[in-house]
């Protein structure tokens, strides 16, 4: 049985989702797992987010060590971890789950001149809010304005930098990840929900 199948069956059998399998130099086999997620039905409130714990990783590691040994899969070290703050988005389900979040996208091909000159024709990388497009596809919305520095006064008379929107299909992406944005203050900025 192939490595992908063994890992998928073992992880799913324990009640987790497989996010990524990575083989690195030196025989490292890195497995990334997450809690299963289902989209809330209409009118239903979303379930509270569950996170992978050390105990979850230990349980999967023990089971994978046994399964990989039985099938004779060669590796030196096995590392099982959670996806982290820069979680990889691979499937449609991941995009639905993280709709509205800030993501980093890398396209397979540069966008070309189709953007009408508003964006550099050779640009492949974008950071912005992930949204559902009107046609049912996906789009990213961003502004190229630099964020204000802490304590910087921003004039209310200055015209805001316009937002840019780019639609994309999942097969056009080389990689999509949640943007690793960390707020060390522990609460939202003024004017955002949950801010004091």
Yes or no: say if 37 and 61 are a contact pair by the CB < 8 Å rule: no
Range in 114-118, 122-126, 144-148 with the lowest mean pLDDT: 114-118
- Round to whole Å and give the CA distance between 38 and 89: 15
Do 3-81 and 92-148+159-178 come out as alike in CATH topology? no
Express each pLDDT in 53-76 by its tens digit. 999 999 999 999 999 999 888 889
CA 160 to chain centroid: 28
Q: What is the mean pLDDT of the chain?
A: 82
Q: Is 65 helix (H, G, I), strand (E, B) or coil?
A: helix
Q: Which residues pair with 126 in a beta bridge?
A: 105
Express each pLDDT in 166-195 by its tens digit. 888 888 899 999 988 777 776 554 444 444
Domain ranges of the chain: 3-81, 92-148+159-178
Please tell me the predicted confidence (pLDDT) of residue 85.
86
Please tell me the predicted confidence (pLDDT) of residue 186.
60
The more confident residue out of 55 and 38 is 55
Please tell me the predicted confidence (pLDDT) of residue 193.
45
Indicate the pLDDT class of residue 102, thresholds 50, 70 and 90.
very high
Q: Which fold has domain 92-148+159-178?
A: SH3 type barrels. (2.30.30)
Q: What CATH number does the domain located at 3-81 have? A: 3.30.300
User: CA angle, corner 180, sides to 178 and 182, nearest 5?
Assistant: 130
Express each pLDDT in 144-153 by its tens digit. 777 777 777 7
pLDDT over 90 at 160, yes or no:
no
């Amino acid at each position: 049985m192939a490595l992908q199948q063994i890992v998928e069956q073992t992880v799913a059998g324990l009640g987790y989702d497989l996010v990524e399998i990575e083989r690195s130099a030196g025989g490292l086999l890195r497995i990334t797992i997450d809690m299963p997620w289902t989209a809330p039905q209409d009118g239903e409130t979303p379930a509270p987010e569950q996170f992978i714990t050390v105990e979850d990783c230990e349980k999967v590691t023990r089971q994978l060590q046994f399964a990989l040994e039985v099938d004779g899969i060669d590796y030196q070290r096995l590392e099982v971890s959670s996806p982290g703050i820069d979680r990889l988005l691979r499937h449609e389900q991941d995009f639905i789950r993280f709709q509205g979040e800030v993501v980093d996208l890398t396209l397979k091909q540069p966008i070309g001149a189709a953007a009408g000159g508003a964006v550099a024709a050779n640009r492949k990388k974008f950071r912005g809010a992930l949204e559902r497009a009107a046609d049912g596809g996906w789009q990213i919305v961003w502004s190229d304005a630099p964020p204000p520095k802490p304590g910087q006064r921003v004039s209310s008379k200055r015209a805001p930098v316009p937002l840019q929107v780019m639609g994309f299909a999942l097969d056009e992406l080389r990689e999509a990840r949640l943007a690793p944005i960390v707020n060390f203050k522990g609460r939202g900025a003024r004017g955002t929900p949950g801010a004091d």
